[in-house]
Amino acid sequence: MQNKNLMQAEEPKRLFDCLTYQLKNFPLEDMLSAKENGVWRKYSTQEVSHKVDQLTAALLALGISRGDGTTEGRDKIAIISHNCPEWMLVDMAIQQTGAVSVPVYPNINNSELQFILQDASVKIVFVGDAALYEKLQSISSGLPALKDMYTFEPVPEAKNWQELLVEPTPAAAQQVQQRRAAVNETDLATILYTSGTTGTPKGVMLSHRNVVSNVFGSAKVIQEVGVRGKKALSFLPLNHAFERMATYCFFYSGVSVYYAEGMEKIGENLREVKPTLFTTVPRLLEKVYEGIVAKGNALKGTKKKLFFWALKLAEQFEINQPQSINYRLQLALADKLIFSKWREALGGELKAVITGAAACQVRLLKVFTAAGIVIQEGYGLTEASPIISGNRYSEKNRMFGTVGPLLENVEVKIAPDGEILCKGHNVMMGYYKRPDLTAEVIEGEWLHTGDIGTMVEGKFLKITDRKKELFKTSGGKYVAPQPIENRMVESNWIEQIMVVGELQKFVGALIVPAFHTLKEWYAQQGLPYPGDAAAVADKEVRALFREAIDHYNQFFNPVEQVKKFVLMPHQWTIGGG
């Protein structure tokens, strides 16, 4: 918890105030860190603050302004890059000018990118590397508002962001302070384009107050873990509301942020950085778990037996329920022999993992928690800045299978049809230039989330499905696909699944196989891997999937059981549309 002196320090009102707050109260030597030429390059709080002011002055010199102060009148600047310290430096500098930052997925397809940059009339774009610069160049002729492009990595013939790091004159420095002071907490800070499930992207407008209110609520969640002066590893895309808000929460809570080199190097980076916590999505936890099980399968004799004994023990773990002395003694032994090695492989300091964006398998929650790594599942959406609820570190405020108690200052009520409605300072200003779409989701002060849920014990929010994803079979029965999908992906064979059946006689599924598991299976048969397309057409492979689906079908009513399925030859990605 914060001491009295820190409690008296002025609390942030605007997002960039989180930087000032850290500088005044607990400056860090490694506020932001990333690998440069194989070595961790650390940015102190002092250096971050100085560079942000330099960038602010440079943007003002380029004519960036808050215009007439309206949402459409403010200048817009886009950031398209993988996670790096430069991303956050630019984000804070844009805010200090009173302009609006528009972050974009680096792997977005060209047509969506063009739509976003046109829709927001973006004036300047910061891109990460040569590939992104070329992507932008290829569509720039259709972007009349675009005035300048800068790259983070050196790219021949492109302007580099470092050109903007010039010491401002006293007059320019004064202008920076004046412009900072003119930014109000209710001003538009950022537009986050969400594609939803179909159609053109919608620009979610979030004010400083929207996100800062979420930072305060989330800080109470992570401060329970004891994070002041500790480290977090960051790898979820910064253009996503979850990771961006979490980063400002880390700034406010005095947590050093280290950027992973990429998804393939997360294991290595965890061991180097030794973080206390990180934010993630369930798929990464599934991959970590699959990796652990694969190592267990490779063991021989007694070691293998011990490994799977410990795993079975972990799957029986419960919280807020008494466990027998015998079970606790066995768990302590399993911890010493097996789970301690898991923690070491994840850096040795990891205490908590915050997961969101999709439902997490309860089996994973149990296994990791039993192994001494608390998984705190939360829930939210971009329109709510983004967190609505989250399981806490303390056991009494955690429940498996729920998304935890509500965040402080967030209200929820369940509509008569079961939809979750949310109210609070975290609810968005609306969709950019789309009052019609805004009116569809905000009634009075209540945001319609589109999710169906219930309150358990009057305290824990539980998500049961997406309102729009409920479908009716031709027999008139309603089917909720999410619980079926969540159960089916427990199979080692299934990477992605979509349950379908609107107005059909029965429920079907589109399945993307876990191709790495298929490759291992072919090797075990002593056969060469024929390639993804040939593998999904293989009768023996289809039989393996039929067996897996039949196993999980037993958990559902006959009307909900997957009767037919199609195996897809490639993964579903944002880049693939």
Q: Which residue has the tokens 């790219």?
A: 155
Domain assignment present for 576: no
Shared domain check, 396 and 310: yes
Q: Which of 10, 165, 177, 9 is nearest to 97 (CA)?
A: 177
Shared domain check, 528 and 407: no
Token pair of 483 as six digits: 């619980």
Domain assignment present for 227: yes
Final residue of a domain: which of 425, 448, 467? 467
Domain assignment present for 575: no
Question: Which amino acid would we find at residue 97?
Answer: T
Q: Which of 350, 339, 343 is nearest to 311 (CA)?
A: 339
Domain assignment present for 236: yes
Shared domain check, 196 and 311: no
pLDDT score at 84: 97
Domain assignment present for 573: no
Shared domain check, 129 and 198: yes
Shared domain check, 240 and 93: yes
Domain assignment present for 577: no
Distance of CA 329 to the CA centre of its chain: 36
pLDDT score at 287: 84
Cα–Cα distances in angstroms (integers) from residue 196 to residues 193, 204, 383, 468, in the given order: 9, 11, 11, 12
Shared domain check, 288 and 170: no
Shared domain check, 453 and 476: no
Shared domain check, 434 and 506: no
Q: Which residue has the tokens 């800045």?
A: 385
Final residue of a domain: which of 467, 502, 536? 467
Domain assignment present for 537: yes
| CATH code (residue 513) | 3.30.300.30
| CATH code (residue 334) | 3.40.50.12780
Please list the rounded mean pLDDT of every run of 10 residues in the chain (577 residues).
49 97 97 96 98 98 90 95 97 97 91 93 97 96 96 96 96 96 97 72 96 96 92 94 97 97 91 96 85 89 95 94 93 96 93 89 93 95 96 95 95 95 97 95 94 95 81 72 86 91 86 93 93 93 94 86 93 72
Burial of residue 250 (number of CB atoms within 10 Å: 0-12, 13-18, 19+): buried
Q: Which of 292, 289, 290, 225 is nearest to 253 (CA)?
A: 225
Cα–Cα distance for residue pair 204/194, rounded to 1 Å? 7
Final residue of a domain: which of 266, 294, 309? 266
pLDDT score at 442: 97
Shared domain check, 184 and 94: yes
Shared domain check, 441 and 356: yes
pLDDT score at 576: 67
Range of the domain at 63: 4-266
Tell me whether the omega of the peptide bond preceding residue 386 falls within 30 degrees of 0, making it cis.
yes
pLDDT score at 197: 44
The reported pTM is 0.84
Name the CA dihedral angle for 312, 314, 318, 321, rounded to a multiple of 10 degrees: 80
SS (H, E, C) 258-327: EECCCHHHHHHHHHHHCCCEEEECHHHHHHHHHHHHHHHHHCCHHHHHHHHHHHHHHHCCCCCCCCCHHH
Question: Which amino acid would we find at residue 341?
Answer: K
Question: Which amino acid would we find at residue 566?
Answer: V
Domains identified in the chain, total number:
3
Cα–Cα distance for residue pair 210/245, rounded to 1 Å? 10
Domain assignment present for 574: no
Shared domain check, 322 and 304: yes
Shared domain check, 224 and 124: yes
